[in-house]
Amino acid sequence: MTDKTTMRILSGIQPSGVLHIGNYFGMMRPAIALQAEGEALYFIADYHALTSVRDPEVLRTNSRRVALDFLACGLDPQRATLFRHSDVPQVTELAWILSTVAPMGLLERAHSYKDKLARGMAATVGLFNYPVLMAADILIYDSDVVPVGKDQKQHIEMTRDLAVKMNETFGQIFKLPEARIQPATETVPGIDGQKMSKSYGNNIDIFGDEKETRKRVMSIVTDSTPIEAPKDLERSTIVELYSLFASKDELANMCDRFKKGGTGYGDFKKELFQKLWEYFTPMRKRREEILRDKSYIDNVLARGAERANEIAHEVMQRVRKAVGLR
């Protein structure tokens, strides 16, 4: 068992599609960095993905690919616990218990729900109840810290609200988790300048092949400023993405050339592609190594599920006793 003074960190990522660089800088890189700070638990949120993925084979394939890509990007299973959401069935039991105290008004105020409806997703109970399942994800592991982007902060606030409601109703059951806002996650723009998302079709995949990755980078939307004219730095998707991969000096050099004029957007895009491709080269090599060991991913996920269930079992015993269940 982990010492009670050890900080427990929790984060999850949906297997709703192939992972892109927004996922990497938004969730994966910060999560990998946090491995050294406490007991880290990272789950592949296949329960959550059911709100959008309807093909069972796609969901299974995506879940395994998320594990592969996370490990390739630097997750160390000796220092962090990686597991599938659905391998801890107690989380859905806790979600139901939380839903019995969750105010409708709280869920109706969820930004992500409104945003998804606005983008054409069906208004299902699962989508509406998404924050309750997310609260269960966090509370069932006695999580101390949840690293999130600014756009996910509301979900942590809702989790804390539900924990307080449970504590007020049934006695002190849950600790209150803290959000750790990751500055890099505020905006990782897609090729159209909006937040990068697979569902928006504006993504650049982490492990896409070279030809497709180059094509995506070269299709970044720009304005019609002539080659010889100075270009707008403030609203440039190229500069914003380049800043994720380049050194300070390299970024300063690109910014100077943007302001001076004389370089076309196409040349800037080529520089961006080169930096992006080089950045992920070591991870592509590690990914190939993992794929050569047929049992590696299964073993990591099995060990992760065992540890996650150990914690969840303890918490659920406490919850069941508090609410009056056997």
Q: Which residues are catalytic?
A: 116, 195, 198
Report the distance separating Cα 65 and Cα 63, nearest Å. 5
Pick from 279, 286, 190: nearest CA to 238:
190
Cβ(204)–Cβ(215) below 8 Å: no
DSSP state of 177: P
Cβ(247)–Cβ(196) below 8 Å: no
Please name the residue ranges forming H helices in the chain.
21-23, 29-33, 46-49, 56-72, 90-99, 104-108, 111-118, 125-128, 130-139, 153-170, 210-218, 237-245, 248-260, 265-279, 281-292, 296-323
